[in-house]
Every structure is written in structure tokens, then in C-alpha cells.
Amino acid sequence: MFRIVPRTTPPIGGRDATARLLDAYAHWQCAAPRPHLPTGGYRVRRDGDDDVLTALADGRALRRVAAPARVLAARAGSGAVLARLAPDESAAVEIVRSDGRVVPVAGARFALEQAAWLPDGTVVLTADGRLRVGVVDADDGRWQESRDVPRGRISVSTGGVLVRRSGTVLLCNFARGSTMELPPDTVTVVEYDGVRALVRRDAIEVGSPRRRVVPTRGTAIGAAAGRGGVAVLTVDRGRHRLTLVDRGGRVRDTRLVAAGTDICSVDALSVSDGEIHVRLDGVATPPQVFRYPWREDPRTAIPAAGEIVVARADDGADIDVLVTRPPDVRRPRPLLLDVYGGFGVAHVPHFEPTTAAWLDAGGAVALAQVRGGGERDERWRQDGRGLRKRRAVDDLACAARELVAVGASRPDCLVLTGGSLGGTVAAAAALRHPGIAAAVVTTAAPLDLARLSDNPLGSRWAGEFGDLHSEPAVAEHDPMSLARSRAAGAPPFLVLDMADDSRIDAAQGPRFAEVLRRAGVDAQHVRIAGAGHGPASPTALRDLGTRFLSYVARVLEEDT
């Protein structure tokens, strides 16, 4: 269990702000590592800058690799499928047998894949970023594509292989050799000890004959099955909720995920030895692993209070803003306002050493749950998508103004932050609404929507951002167009990009910063070596966090 280490640094501001922040950052990097979940009798643990695969039965270390690594699938007594992720999101996949023998998997290109270990000893494994699926012989490591599974968006679970294509969902069960069509709103299918659960967006069907159980509230986004039943994870207006349904279809436990007053979220579920495990965290709560349902409450690391501030958008929509700040401090604080707002992904709180250091030094952190994300229903997502992406941008500006109105911060000490698509939204908001923030930090963000196709995956994003060439209104939320036409009064920008990013064109960041500088804006561009769009080495993560905190501390020092 995590041990609380009290910290009592002075609030952000003054000449020593940067030194205090970096000291707190170094502390939280060491004090709160992200634990891996146990899976099928195996677990990865961090040892320095390496990851070590261990067998839970006797604690033996079976394999040491350079971080980051993760277990894709495992079977007690047989072994684990281990993926070693590179910064460019490619992966080396290997099967580590229970005796420590390592069998490299060959026959395809691997990236962010999924796998399942079948009862007959073979392994089902996706390839090419989950565009194909095949089976692996666990003894020789040969991956062979299955010709029986149609092409589509593929996901693998304990209940089989799901293929989404043209509005239909197919379940392919390799163990049974069967294929069946499922309802189009199917999220996943999980199975344990002969009991199968079909999880849909608003219901779960358990057993045979199936019995429908409607989750208490929210939209289902994941599930895991074990001896105690099926744990269903839902998102309910931007909050994570867990519901346990037993084998007979009865609800045994339901709870919002929190640690005291800190709003938390679940970022992973797993099953090992029949037990369902949950990893949760929050802005002030370090990552912790529990058997679900847990009896012991999660522990916060930093004294902080979480609350929801509701901002009213210009068209009357309510925008939830999750705020974490020092308890019993009502005066305005230096505040990091983070955003995502796209692809139907819920923007929920997680623990990061950077934001922990910021809180520890007396600052506040807020998450704006704007339209385009997955915090609510499908309409919420569609209202911030395509030509309506400007709504996400304007929602963020409303959130910033509301935080000032309620006394949580001031415009001269509020920093907008966003990663990936969130950086697009943050940059556009600062340019469309000058005066709402003291600075902007974007990380690995597409910043030139007119050249969306220059990004390796840009052809897949036109539906989310709109096509500037055929839809001129896209210029209203395109950061590059706004930088050329509306840079007057813009705050300072820090544009961060990743040297090994496999999704974002490397030329966009420096080009955007140069356009801002020509317009008289203080804009810096920094490229982080050894980092990708998601995976990064521990050294790269330290560099990223240090540069981020040094920048925001300097900007706020200059404004105080």
C-alpha cells in the first residue's frame, strides 16, 4: 500500500518557484510509481529504469527488459505474453514461459496489441495495430494470421475476438470455432469459468439464458470477469463508476470511484487467479491496485480537495470542470487547466508527478470536460466533432472564465494545457479568446489542420476535425489559421513535441511556433528525445516533466 509522505513546501510564486517545483517533481517521480496489474498469475514491476516480469506464485523474476513493458495475456503455469514498447509505438512481443524461457514472436509487425491465452495453449494475438489477428504457437513463437476473421476494428478479450465493421459487430471465438453477430452497441464480451457476459453501452447480459441488467447510471466502457462475477466500468457524466454483477445477474456492489474528496478514475482492470483487480488513481491520489470490491479506502498523497465547478456555455450547455486544489484555501491559485475534448474519450483525472508537484507547491489543477469527449452520451460527443469542434474550443474558454469567476484562479496565473487533440483545443481557445490565460502548453498536438494529411494517421482524423480544404469553417478551430489571423494579444506558448512520435508530423510544431513568433508572440518549441506519442523512456519522461514545470513556473514568476 502507498505510504503517504507529507510535504510542506510554500505556495507557487516568487524567485524560488522553479527550484521548489523541480524538487517536488523529483520527489513524486520516486515516491509514486505506477504499479502494474497482476494478470493470469504474472506481474510486471519497476526496478530502477527497467521492468521485470515476475511469477506471483513464488515471486521469481523471469525477465528483465527496458521499460516500458506490459503483459498482454497470461496463463498460470504456462507463461505470459510480454510486449516491450518503443517510443514510436512499435512493439517487440515475446512469450516468457513459466520456466523463464523466452520465445520471440515473429511473423508480423506489432504495436499496441491485444492478446488472449486459449485453453489449448495457443495464443490469440492482434498485429499491425489491431488491424489483423492470428494465433501464435507458444513453443516456437510463429504468428499465423487467421483467414476466418474479417477485416475491421479488432479487439480481444476473454470472451473472444470482436470485429467492428460497417456498423456491425462480430464475435469470433477461436476456442469454439464459431462466429456470431452481436448488437451494434456491444462494448466487450468477457468470460470466466463458463459464464459469459455481453457488455453493451447501457446494459449487461449475463449467463444462459441471458438476463439483462441495466447499470445504475452511465455508459459502459469496459469489464472484467472473475469468480465474484463481472465488474463493469461505466462513465457517468465524467465520473467513473464500478458495478459488480454476480453470475445470476444481480448487482452486488456499485460505487463512484473516489478517495475521500479526491475524484478518481480507473485506468485498468485485470483478472488473476479468479480475482478481479482494479488500478485507480486521481490528481492527488497515486496509482493503487485493489481486489474488487475493495474494503480499504484508497489513500491520497497530497492534502487536496476535489470539486466540480459547472460552467455555462454560450448556448446554455453545462460544462463540468473537475478542480483539485489545496483544502481550506479559497483565494485564487496558480492553476493548470487541462483539456482533451475529442474522439469520444472521457477526460478523467489521473496521477502524474508533474501535477502532483504543482499541487504540492500550492497550485491547483482543473480538467475541463468539454464537448467532443466521452464524458456523457453520443450527442455530447457529436456536438464537439467535425465542424462543431469549435464548440469544444469555446467550452474551454467558458471553463477558464468560470474558474476566475468562482475565485479558483486569475487570468494572470492560469495556464491552458493539452496533449494530442487536447493541445489543438487549448491552442485554438487561447487564440480565439485572448486574455483567458497567462500561458499555453501543447504536447504532441496536431496544430495545422490544413495539412492534416501530413500526419501519419491524419487521414483517419478528418471526421474529428473537419476538412479545411472543403469546409472553410474549420479555420475557426484550426490553430495555424488562427495564429496567422488572430495572434494579437495571445499569451506565451510552449510547443512540445516528441522525437519518435508515430502520429504527428514533426514539422508542425516548429512551424506553428515560428508563425506565432512572427506575429510577436513569445513562442518556444522543444522536442523531447526518446519519447513517442504515448510510450517514452523514463529519461524522456523526466525531461518532459522538467521542461514543462520550469516553463510554467518561469511564466508565472514573470507575471507576479
Question: Phi and psi at residue 198, in whole multiples of 5°?
Answer: -95, 115
> What is the DSSP secondary structure assignment for residue 337, as one 8-state letter?
E
Amino acid 10: pLDDT:
43
Position 22 scores a pLDDT of 93
The predicted model scores a pTM of: 0.94
Compute CA 441 distance to the chain's CA centroid, rounded to the nearest angstrom. 18
Answer CATH for 36-172 from 3.40.50.300, 2.40.50.140, 2.40.128.630, 1.10.150.530: 2.40.128.630
Evaluate whether 418 touches 442 at the Cβ level (below 8 Å).
yes
Q: Where are the domains of the chain?
A: 36-172, 183-299, 302-559
Instruction: In whole angstroms, give the CA distance from residue 298 to residue 302.
Output: 13
Pick the CATH number of 302-559 from 3.30.2350.10, 3.40.50.1820, 1.10.3720.10, 3.40.50.150: 3.40.50.1820
Q: Note the pLDDT of residue 260.
A: 87
d(CA 475, CA 459): 18
Q: Is 168 helix (H, G, I), strand (E, B) or coil?
A: strand
Residues 402 and 164: their CA atoms lie apart, in Å, by 40
Q: 333 to each of 7, 21, 308, 403, 414, how far by Cα in Å? A: 18, 15, 16, 10, 8
Q: State the pLDDT at residue 189.
A: 95
Confidence at residue 396, expressed as pLDDT on a 0 to 100 scale: 99
521/189 Cα distance (integer angstroms): 51
Q: Dihedral sign, CA of 39, 45, 51, 56?
A: negative
Name the DSSP class of 358.
Answer: H
Q: Which residues contact 380 (CB under 8 A, 6 or more apart)?
A: 371, 372, 373, 374
| Per-residue pLDDT tens listing for the chain (560 residues) | 333 333 444 456 555 778 889 999 999 998 888 899 999 999 999 998 899 999 999 999 999 999 899 999 999 999 999 999 999 999 999 999 999 999 999 999 999 999 999 878 889 999 999 999 999 999 999 999 998 898 889 999 999 999 999 889 999 988 778 899 999 999 999 999 988 899 999 999 987 666 777 666 789 999 999 999 999 999 999 999 999 999 888 899 999 999 988 999 999 999 999 999 999 999 999 999 999 999 888 988 888 889 999 999 999 999 999 999 988 777 899 999 999 999 999 999 999 999 999 999 999 999 999 999 999 999 999 999 999 999 999 999 999 999 999 999 999 999 999 999 999 999 999 999 999 999 999 999 999 999 999 999 998 999 999 988 888 999 999 999 999 999 999 999 999 999 999 999 999 999 999 999 999 999 999 999 999 998 888 899 999 999 999 999 988 876 55
Report the distance separating Cα 167 and Cα 240, nearest Å. Answer: 27
CA distance 526 to 536: 16
Distance CA 356, CA 324 (A): 11
pLDDT at 1: 33
